[in-house]
Amino acid sequence: MPAQKNIVILISGRGSNMEALLHAKLPCRIAAVISNKTDAQGLETARAHGIATAVVSHLDYADRECFDTALAAEIDRHTPDLVVLAGFMRILTPAFVARYTGRLINIHPSLLPAYAGLHTHEQALRDGVRVHGCTVHFVTADLDHGPIIIQAAVPVSQNDTAATLAARVLHEEHRIYPQAIRWLCHDRVRLNPQGRVSIAPPEQMGGPLISPGLD
């Protein structure tokens, strides 16, 4: 049996995606949870699960480069095979991203490439889209535009608020993030030299989503 991979999870707040990963019985070792905020709720959850935690506060560093260098040093103490951004609210420098090429992933609450950045649910409602969702992708220097591993789509109701839509999307985030990481742990997902993602053996096609539903 190959050795279990180490993963390090980076958070900034609530940590519900991190918690979903802790509950998912992943075939890897969650070596540490690191936050850039001392008061991140997710730190408590991680500690309650017996996971090592650390805080590297961006407020303690003069610029992004210095912060990212300190963050990388803390991450590397755990010799991670995979670095997982789970609600980590800092823009990372190209040097940091390059250091972890092919082993740095993120979850974003939209069907990328639509709605990169913040306030994705508000943007989706404003545009009147009928389908919205979430994306797990490799991180590149191009914010929220790295190669896509898996996406989940949800219907948008005309009665939705940003909060109801966010809750529906988050439910799917908690399903697709563990799946993506399971594939990565089993070396089934690869970022090829052309910057595209391949999944082996070829993945199951998901079902279609029609929204609103047909009569």
Instruction: Return the active site residues.
Output: 108
Residues 6+ apart with CB under 8 A from 53: 32, 33, 34, 35, 43, 46, 47
Closest-by-Cβ residue to ligand GRF is 87
Using CB under 6 A, pick the residue from 104, 173, 176, 191 that binds ligand GRF: 173
- From the number of C-beta atoms within 10 Å of its C-beta (0-12, 13-18, 19+), residue 164 rates as middle
Closest among 195, 8, 160 to 84, alpha carbons compared = 8
Instruction: Determine the residue type at 182.
Output: R
- 178 near ligand GRF, rule: CB under 6 A: no
Q: Does 145 bind ligand GRF (CB under 6 A)?
A: no
Q: Among 37, 108, 137, 168, which residue sits at the site for ligand GRF (rule: CB under 6 A)?
A: 108
- Is 87 one of the binding residues for ligand GRF (CB under 6 A)? yes
160 binds ligand GRF per the rule CB under 6 A? no
Q: CA end-to-end span of the chain, whole Å?
A: 51
Q: What is the C-alpha separation between 209 and 31, in angstroms, rounded?
A: 37
CB-wise, 46 or 189, nearer to ligand GRF?
46
What would the two tokens of residue 202 be? 């070829």
Per CB under 6 A, the segment of 8-16, 30-38, 44-52, 60-68 that binds ligand GRF is 8-16
Q: Measured from the CB of residue 126, what is the shortest distance to ligand GRF in angstroms?
A: 18
Q: Nearest 5°: phi and psi at 172?
A: -75, -35
Shorter beta-carbon distance to ligand GRF: residue 93 or 120: 120
Beta-carbon contacts of 185 under 8 Å, excluding residues fewer than 6 positions away, are 4, 5, 7, 26, 27, 28, 82
Beta carbon of residue 1, minimum distance to ligand GRF (angstroms, whole number): 31
Nearer to ligand GRF, 14 or 190 (CB): 14
| By CB under 6 A, residue 107 contacts ligand GRF | yes
Beta bridge partners of 184: none
Q: Is 53 in the site for ligand GRF (CB under 6 A)?
A: no
Binding site for ligand GRF (CB under 6 A): 11, 13-17, 86-87, 107-109, 170, 173
